[in-house]
A = this chain, B = another copy of it.
Amino acid sequence: MNIKEVADQAGLPAKTIRYYEDIGLVRARRGANGYRQFDATDLHKLAFLARARALGFSIEDCRALLALYEDKGRASADVKQIAEQHITQIEEKLAQLQSMHDTLTELARACPGNNRPDCPILSDLSHLGMDEKKGSTKDPI
């Protein structure tokens, strides 16, 4: 299989697969013409990666998961630990977003949205954000 076929079947752009090879996440044999050659095993790994990435695992998580995936004697506890860490991260992110959402929704609700310049949203934003600690703007959405 050439890259496009495996890409389509795994559900990843070809560019991404080349990138994954670049960073050592996958390897690919080369044909006589220099083209990458993939087989069913490669396809499985790439599909694995596609699914893991879609579930929000970082590349480094994926690297660890792939290693466990290939280690037939791994303990399921190891996998579960990675998953649970990731779940915790997702929960933190959810809480953050939910809080943003609530604040913004309340501000938008209070805003008449008319032609006059009085705007509760701008009023809120213009308050000094003393309650936000330095660096709190990191990693927004």
Contacts and interface: CB of A to CB of B under 8 A. Distances in A.
Interface string A53-89: 1111110000001001100111111011101101101
Interface in A81-118: 81, 83-84, 86-87, 89-91, 93-94, 97-98, 100-101, 103-105, 107-108, 111-118
A77 B127 CA distance: 20
Contact of A113 (B43, B76, B128, B133): B76
B104 A87 contact: yes
A84 to B, nearest CB: 6
A13 B93 contact: no
A52 to B, nearest CB: 5
How many copies of this kind of chain does the complex include? 2
A2 interface: no
B86 A104 contact: yes
A134 interface: yes
15 contacts: A11-B130, A12-B137, A50-B137, A52-B125, A55-B100, A74-B117, A76-B117, A76-B121, A80-B111, A83-B111, A87-B105, A90-B97, A94-B97, A94-B98, A97-B97
